[in-house]
Amino acid sequence: MGQKRDPAENREKPKNTENEMEQIRRGLEQFLEREMDDMEAMEARTRGDMEAMEGQEEDDMEPAEGQEEDDMEPAEGQEEDDMEPAEAQAEDGMGAGKVRKKERSGRKKKGHSGLRKLLVFLVIVLALFFGGLYLAVGVVYDKMNIVPDESVKGPVKKDGVTSVLLIGSDSRTAGTEGRSDAMILITVSDCTKTVHMTSLLRDMYVDIPGHDGNRLNAAYAYGGPELLMETVNRNFGTEVYHYAVVNFEAFAGLVDAVGGVELELTAEEVQWVNAYLNEYNELRGMPMETDYLDTSLSGNIHLNGAQALAYCRNRFIGTDFARTQRQRNVLSAVMKKLPAAVLTNPGGLADGLFPNLTTNLTQSECVRLALMAGKLLSYDIIQDSLPLDGTYSNATIREMAVLQVDFEQNRAYIRKEIYGEE
């Protein structure tokens, strides 16, 4: 488990900036080398075509086979000066041919020169873009609570799927302490062109490495995010090695940074939003009725960060499936507005979310995630939860009310829907 840090301390963070910038520089150099190899291959093909054309022209200028040399002599009695115009014409023709060759060669050189200039320009633009993005992400990264983890067992992207476990903590301060109030596996799959938000129900009875079987959220209590990810991978066949823990403040700040969300609420849900706001208002030292919703409202309602948090925490309407559905409703609405908010309100995102977010992602991994923002617009966003309907039953084990799960069916679903396996 990563070490905990007091946000008030002037913490030191692992400065891998030089190594990560070196990786980006090498990546750009490799890109340049590939492009240069492609260009050289194209030049070689072009030279081959030109040489073939020149050889054909020379063959056409040779005398036809069997033609006598004396046939090329001037006719008897024909004055030599009568031949001069023809010879001059031939020489002019030969000169014109050379000029055409030079012109073709000149055009070829100009074309290749233009390609080189374009390539250099593109590389410079890419270098500036990635460098600027890296610096911008660095500013945000410094606001996060970073838990250096030398034991990370895999990359953030594997087999075409980028995976991050989003953990909602009921902690009121930044860090990994507290209980895992929500667990959502975020996957961006290039295999199926989807962004999956998969809620993991906390009452599933699972095998926890190094411990007896227990509810899923017990893994977080035993060993923090690292043990929770190991437990998820073992039971569901996933490959997630990176996490982000967000507390109450982070969740509310994220919603506010994107300008709030529009959601469908029943009249009963409106009542419970106000009820949950009581505790949150007390925590932040606000008057009790701050952000209360009009109890006569129902239907499509605009929620700010505090109201959206209260909506998600509701445990009294429906089962835990309904509660996780409300969490995904908010997260889905946020993700749709996030790309625009990055452009219009970057300061709000940085100040509202990141100081209350704890992660083991490196700065270069955050850059890669930032580059994937466009996929939120082009990929299908799919909400689901595990266990699947029909793959679990209610049970009591060691006096705990739990869900007994058919993990084989759930693993098969994940491998097909996210990893594209049949």
Per-residue DSSP letters for 163-231? Answer: EEEEEEE--SSSSS-S-EEEEEEEEEETTTTEEEEEEE-TTBEEPPTTS-SEEHHHHHHHHHHHHHHHH
Q: pLDDT grade, residue 307 (50/70/90)?
A: very high
Q: Which helix (H) or strand (E) holds 263?
A: strand 261-265
Residue 100 tokens read as 């055409």
Which tens digit of pLDDT belongs to each residue from 90-111? 455 555 555 555 555 555 555 5
Q: Which of these, 372, 135, 152, lies nearest to 243 by C-alpha position?
A: 152
Q: How far apart are CA 398 and CA 215, in angstroms?
A: 11
Q: pLDDT grade, residue 356 (50/70/90)?
A: confident
Q: How far apart are CA 255 and CA 304, in angstroms?
A: 6
Beta-carbon contacts of 382 under 8 Å, excluding residues fewer than 6 positions away, are 194, 195, 196, 197, 417
Residue 376 tokens read as 């939120």
Q: How far apart are CA 323 and CA 316, in angstroms?
A: 9
Q: How far apart are CA 422 and CA 418, in angstroms?
A: 11
**Range of weakest confidence among 144-153, 201-210, 359-368:** 144-153
Which tens digit of pLDDT belongs to each residue from 21-31? 555 555 555 55
Whole-number pLDDT of residue 318: 83
**Average of per-residue pLDDT across 339-350:** 85
312: burial class by Cβ within 10 Å (0-12, 13-18, 19+)? buried
**Range of weakest confidence among 54-58, 232-236, 239-243, 332-336:** 54-58
